[in-house]
Amino acid sequence: MNVAKMVDAKGLSCPMPLVKTKKAIDELTSGQVLEVQTTDKGAKNDLAAWAKVSGHKLVDMKEENGVLTFWIEKA
């Protein structure tokens, strides 16, 4: 996957992963992919819901050693 930008939100709690993701996606153009890494367990539902409502596409998600990684394609 061609990742245009990466957000490291590891160790941060709600609402920071979301706020950082939103800021980063604003800097991308349509079709570009953002990678977000977080350790906030609530982010699994949070970022999925946010992407859905904002129209962005959650391309993929994985969980490894307590780190959640999301790939979001900007609408």
Partner 1 sequence: MSEKKKKTTIILFSGDYDKAMAAYIIANGAAAYDHEVTIFHTFWGLNALRKEEQVPVKKGFLEKMFAKMMPRGADKMGLSRMNFAGVGPKLIKHVIKKHNAMPLPQLIEMAKEQEVKLVACQMTVDLLGLKQEELIDGIEFAGVAAYLADASEGNVNLFI
Q: Which is nearer to partner 1, 1 or 22 (CB)?
A: 22
Q: By the criterion CB under 8 A, which residues form the site for partner 1?
A: 11-16, 18-19, 21-22, 50, 53-55, 75
**Known catalytic residues?**
14
CB 12 within 8 A of CB 59: no
Query: Measured from the CB atom, is 12 or 61 closer to partner 1?
Result: 12
Q: Where are the beta strands (DSSP E) in 1-75?
A: 3-9, 33-38, 57-64, 67-73
Report the nearest approach of partner 1 to the CB of residue 75 (Å).
Answer: 8
